[in-house]
Amino acid sequence: MNERKKLLKKLNNAFASCDTEFLANSVTEDITWKIIGEKIISGKKDFEKSLDRMRHGGPTEIKVKEIIISKKKSVVEGIVEFYVEPGKKRKYAFCDVYIFSETDTTKFKELRTYVTQLKKK
């Protein structure tokens, strides 16, 4: 398995398990996280604050469906599940576009997240 694919799997596992330390160590100082249609998080300090909030209601499970890798960008598509209140979960489809640093290919400098709630069948 290619190194980038391994890293992307680790990143998604870190999001699922709220491993905020690993995630914070995987970004550049000037990280930009664009949650499309919602908000933009700029800089490592704000990224870390966002991760800290994730510990109190973050994802319970992430299922990666597909990973697409190119030289500077990688795309991860999948399903994420969150508790919206005690005992009640919701599923969302997501697509994350990672743009990696030119100087340190183990760190990403931008993350664009597209997410939509899945309707119950």
Query: What does each of the 121 residues of the chain score in pLDDT, given as a tens digit?
Result: 589 999 999 999 999 888 989 999 999 999 999 999 999 999 999 999 988 877 766 677 899 999 999 888 999 999 998 877 777 888 999 999 999 999 898 999 999 999 999 987 6
Per-residue pLDDT at 60: 76
CA distance 96 to 103: 21
Per-residue pLDDT at 110: 98
Per-residue pLDDT at 101: 93
Per-residue pLDDT at 1: 55
Q: Residue 3 burial (CB < 10 Å; 0-12/13-18/19+)? A: exposed
Domains and CATH numbers, the chain: 3-117 (3.10.450.50)
CA distance 19 to 21: 6
Q: Do the beta carbons of residue 109 and residue 31 sit within 8 Å?
A: yes
Based on its alpha-carbon atoms, the radius of gyration of the chain, rounded to whole angstroms, reads 14
Beta-strand pair 27-35/39-42: antiparallel
Per-residue pLDDT at 58: 67
Per-residue pLDDT at 46: 95
Per-residue pLDDT at 56: 67
Alpha-carbon dihedral angle through residues 107, 111, 116, 117, given to the nearest 10 degrees: 40
Per-residue pLDDT at 7: 95
Interacting residues of 116 by C-beta distance below 8 A, sequence separation 6+ = 92, 93
